[in-house]
């Protein structure tokens, strides 16, 4: 009997130990698929997988704020922190590499007959004002926008967190206010130059002959050649796209939901990178790429030989309109240095 009682005690003890062991195993091990919403952030991933969306309760009227996490938010964050950085780096560094190689191969496109010393008005003061206002705003918007995308990985390691915060804050102010004159500039550019930028048959020929920059030919063109028309439409359409998506971002949730906001940021980021690339190409041709081009927007006049080479049909029209004595202004003669 005593033996039996001893064995009984051992069996009961073993069961008791087993029950204790089972009851002290972690909650997740007991029920591998269940979720404890009170658990620490370590369980956040599991919670998200199970519930897809993490929502809470709130007291403020903005019910959107009750959603703390949603799967699309992670996709968007990945786009913002990884995909857009790759897209931007490839587009911007790619175009810079192409331009450097092109310059090494082609050099500056010269005026074949040299300068005549006589000039003709190409852009009046108002046109130049609109151009430079839009260009200045664009450059500041591009730098401040690129800081949103690349500032943290590229600049933060080079400066103190306080300096990076101060710089980013000013950049953000610039981005939030200079978009207004930029948008006005895009509208003005559309209106003042639309007449000369409607595509026509001359443009086809211009492209076929490499536009005088790829080849050494100088196909005829009216006031704007096919290359300039391309830039014009990139600015008008790209500027409109970046402005619309930008205003959606600036005024969040006014008639938009979270998905529209995320799409707007994706569209804004990609169009912005493409615009930066197009403008780098534009700046290249307007400066070191082509002799005599910068002065068109600098002083507003171009050399007659430059006009003859690049915009023969426009020069003919101007001559017919004003007569050779009027349009061929007196030489901007300066003594040779
Ligand atoms: C009307 C014109 C524009 C408006 C209203 C606008 C507005 C905005 C807003 C509100 C943001 C979000 C900033 C943030 O998250 O703190 C943004 C981001 C950005 N903007 Fe603009 N912007 C405009 C034009 C431009 C232009 C012309 C460029 C460059 C060419 C540009 C490049 C960028 C870039 C790269 C970002 C960061 C995108 C990202 O990393 O997600 N923006 N913009």
Q: What pLDDT digit, counting tens, does each position of 107-159 carry?
A: 999 998 899 999 999 999 999 999 999 999 999 999 999 999 999 999 999 99
- The answer, yes or no, to whether residue 24 has pLDDT greater than 50, is no
Distances (CA, A) of 73 to 48, 68, 260, 313: 11, 10, 12, 55
Can you say whether the dihedral through the CA atoms of 171, 176, 181, 185 is positive or negative?
A: positive
Name which residue leads in pLDDT, 19 or 278: 278
- The answer, yes or no, to whether residue 85 has pLDDT greater than 80, is yes
Q: How confident is the model at residue 212 (pLDDT cuts 50, 70, 90)?
A: confident
pLDDT of residue 40: 58
Q: Each residue of 233-258: pLDDT tens digit?
A: 999 999 999 999 999 999 999 999 98
- The answer, yes or no, to whether residue 204 has pLDDT greater than 70, is yes
Measured by CA distance, the residue closest to atom 8 of ligand 1 is 246
Q: Are 182 and 239 in contact (CB under 8 A)?
A: yes
Residue with tokens 């948008």: 183
DSSP three-state, residue 201: helix
63 alpha carbon – ligand 1 mean position (Å): 27
- The answer, yes or no, to whether residue 18 has pLDDT greater than 50, is no
Highest mean pLDDT among 27-31, 113-117, 192-196: 192-196
- The answer, yes or no, to whether residue 20 has pLDDT greater than 70, is no
145 alpha carbon – ligand 1 mean position (Å): 5
- The answer, yes or no, to whether residue 331 has pLDDT greater than 60, is no
Q: How many CB atoms lie within 10 A of CB 182?
A: 23
- The answer, yes or no, to whether residue 31 has pLDDT greater than 80, is no
Task: List helix spans (H) across 107-200.
Answer: 125-154, 161-193
Q: State the distance between the two ends of the chain, measured CA to CA, in whole angstroms.
A: 127
Q: How confident is the model at residue 261 (pLDDT cuts 50, 70, 90)?
A: very high
52 alpha carbon – ligand 1 mean position (Å): 30
Measured by CA distance, the residue closest to atom 43 of ligand 1 is 246
Q: How confident is the model at residue 322 (pLDDT cuts 50, 70, 90)?
A: confident
53 alpha carbon – ligand 1 mean position (Å): 28
Distances (CA, A) of 113 to 158, 192, 283, 299: 50, 32, 24, 21
Q: Could you tell me which residues come within 8 angstroms of residue 99 by beta carbon, excluding any fewer than 6 positions away?
A: 280, 281, 284
Q: Each residue of 36-58: pLDDT tens digit?
A: 656 555 566 666 666 677 788 88
Q: How confident is the model at residue 295 (pLDDT cuts 50, 70, 90)?
A: very high
The helix or strand, by DSSP H or E, that contains position 124, with its residue range, turns out to be: none
The DSSP call for residue 109 is: B
17 alpha carbon – ligand 1 mean position (Å): 64
Q: Are 313 and 221 in contact (CB under 8 A)?
A: yes
255 vs 112: CA distance, rounded Å = 57
Average confidence score pLDDT of the chain: 85
Name which residue leads in pLDDT, 225 or 72: 225
Mean pLDDT within 159-180: 98
Nearest to 137 by CA among 229, 239, 231, 232: 239
Measured by CA distance, the residue closest to atom 36 of ligand 1 is 145
268 alpha carbon – ligand 1 mean position (Å): 6
16 vs 20: CA distance, rounded Å = 6
Core vs surface per residue 124-139: b (16+ CB within 10 A) or e: eeebbebbebbbebbe
Measured by CA distance, the residue closest to atom 7 of ligand 1 is 246
pLDDT of residue 38: 61
Of 145, 150, 247, 270, best ligand 1 pocket probe by most atoms within 8 Å of the beta carbon: 145
Angle of CA points 87, 92, 98, to nearest 5°? 120
Q: Spell out which residues line ligand 1, taking CB within 6 angstroms.
A: 80, 84, 138, 141-142, 145-146, 148-149, 172, 175, 179, 182-183, 242-243, 246-247, 249-250, 265, 268-269, 272, 275-276
């Amino acid at each position: 009997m005593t033996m039996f009682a001893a064995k009984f005690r051992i069996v009961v003890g073993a069961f008791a130990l087993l029950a204790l062991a089972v009851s002290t195993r972690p909650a997740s091990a007991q029920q591998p698929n269940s979720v404890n919403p009170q658990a620490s952030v370590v369980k956040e991933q599991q919670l998200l997988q199970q519930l897809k969306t993490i929502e809470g309760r709130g007291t403020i009227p903005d019910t959107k704020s009750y959603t703390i996490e949603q799967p699309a938010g992670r996709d968007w964050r990945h786009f913002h922190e990884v995909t857009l950085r790759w897209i931007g780096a490839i587009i911007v560094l790619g175009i810079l590499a192409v331009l450097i190689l092109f310059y090494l191969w082609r050099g500056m496109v010269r005026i074949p007959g040299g300068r005549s010393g006589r000039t003709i008005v190409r852009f009046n003061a108002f046109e130049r004002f609109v151009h430079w206002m839009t260009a200045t705003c664009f450059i500041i918007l591009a730098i401040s926008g690129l800081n949103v995308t690349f500032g943290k990985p590229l600049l933060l390691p080079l400066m103190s967190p306080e300096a990076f915060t101060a710089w980013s804050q000013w950049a953000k102010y610039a981005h939030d206010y200079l978009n207004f004159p930029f948008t006005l500039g895009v509208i003005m550019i559309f209106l003042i130059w639309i007449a000369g930028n409607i595509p026509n048959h001359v443009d086809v020929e211009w492209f076929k002959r490499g536009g005088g920059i790829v080849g050494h030919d100088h196909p005829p063109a009216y006031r704007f050649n096919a290359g300039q028309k391309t830039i014009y439409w990139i600015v008008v359409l790209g500027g409109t796209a970046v402005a619309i998506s930008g205003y959606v971002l600036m005024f969040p949730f006014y008639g938009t939901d979270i998905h529209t906001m995320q799409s707007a940021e994706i569209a804004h980021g990609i169009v912005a990178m493409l615009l930066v690339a197009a403008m780098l190409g534009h700046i290249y041709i307007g400066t070191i790429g082509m002799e005599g081009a910068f002065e068109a927007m600098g002083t507003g006049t171009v050399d007659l030989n430059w006009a003859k080479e690049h915009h023969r049909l426009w020069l003919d029209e101007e001559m017919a309109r004003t007569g050779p004595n009027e349009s061929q202004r007196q030489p901007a003669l300066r003594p040779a240095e």
